[in-house]
Amino acid sequence: MFCRLANLARRTILSCTPSYRSLSPHPTISSTSTLAELHQTLSNSKKHYGVSSTSLDEMAAPVNTTDRLKQLRQLMASPKYNVTAYVVPSEDAHQSEYVAACDERRPFISGFDGSAGCAVITLDSASMFTDGRYFLQARQQMDDNWTLMKRGLPGVPTWQEYLTEHLPAGTRVGIDPTLLSAAEGSGLKKALKARGNGELVSIEDNLVDIVWGSQRPTRPLNKAFVHDVEYSGELHMDKISRVRATLEKQGAEGLVVAALDEVAWLLNLRGSDIDYNPVFFAYAVVTKDDVTLYIDDVKLDDNTRSHLQGIKIKPYKAIFGELSELSASLVQRKRKLLAGQTASWALVEALGKDNVTVGKSPINLLKALKNPIELEGMRQCHIRDGAAMANYFGWLENELLFNG
């Protein structure tokens, strides 16, 4: 429960500090704010950003998942899917730590909404694997349909070990291939096969989404916007040139960019598709001749399109078909693309595992070395965030001591 309260504090602080640029106005906290002003700002920001004043008892109330699990198991057992276990990770298709409401599948199916965890559902059991930060919260939020697997304690397997060592030989394990990293998918597939011909089954239809139905939140279509060179310190075309130089040194034909923060950094764009994270849903592919951004057209306005002049723009989901088409050319020329470690199993399967090398993304390394403008921006950000944090904890201490 403490982790949930701490996360509420974090979200409130992030929403109240000017270091996180937003498309909508947000309240600010200065280093001279009084406790009363901070208290009012906290209250206002909770309303502004839809954070409810839920009581501790309400937050701890378990969610009844009986019907949800029943529907999921019916799908699992149907001839169309025919799997005996189904994995529901926390991450989205970009392996993001924080996800949009439409991607909160594990919280929906289990009731547990901590930021880390993995659900494994079989035809007769449901297990939640999480770490020590969330043991109390998970137990309070989940009903009796679930078994809490306390990761890190002696004798408790990881979810991967549970699938390969604790389920019957020959188990067919289903998963949405976009939600599993390529490296994880490859390793799990080999481990299951070695364990009595088990099979990792790629299921394009996300079964939790089917159960969720019309109640599932829609995917955000917020506008992406330009992150000016005044703040980035480098033009996006110069960043692309540096990425291409790195790829040439590595002998790679191109780069598949799946991580949302890497797409945003590379193209000097920002967004608001995930709460409190300045990113937008998109992929990018960089080759020596072209840069292609895969993004929903509605997310781009005239200013952003002008900024992206010279870059090909295609629909978000078109990347899978285009990678499949590209694979034949790569085989013929005996060339490979590089994909970062956040690339999904689905992306690599579309490209063909023999046509891609999965490894560290050069973008991740390039953006780690900050230029002078970025360094100054980081300093200013920490000053503002530090003031907000100090004021928040001052208010919290006062509330606990005097208003209990």
Question: Under 8 Å CB-to-CB from 347, ≥6 apart: which residues?
Answer: 178, 182, 256, 258, 283, 319, 320, 323, 339
Predicted pLDDT at 54: 44
Please give the model's pTM, rounded to 2 decimal places: 0.83
User: Is the pLDDT score of 50 beyond 80?
Assistant: no
Alpha-carbon Rg for the chain in angstroms: 23
User: Is the pLDDT score of 388 beyond 50?
Assistant: yes
Cβ neighbours of 201 (radius 10 Å): 18
> Residue 15 in 3-state DSSP?
helix
Q: Quick one: tokens of 105?
A: 């599948």
The Cα–Cα gap between 192 and 198 comes to 4
Cα-based distances in Å from 204 to 97, 185, 279, 320, 360: 22, 14, 25, 12, 26
The Cα–Cα gap between 289 and 127 comes to 48
Q: What percent of the chain has pLDDT over 90?
A: 78
Per-residue pLDDT of 269-315, as tens digits, reads 999 999 999 999 999 999 999 999 999 999 999 999 999 999 999 99
Q: How does DSSP classify residue 233?
A: S
The sign of the dihedral angle between the CA atoms of 312, 317, 321, 324 is: positive
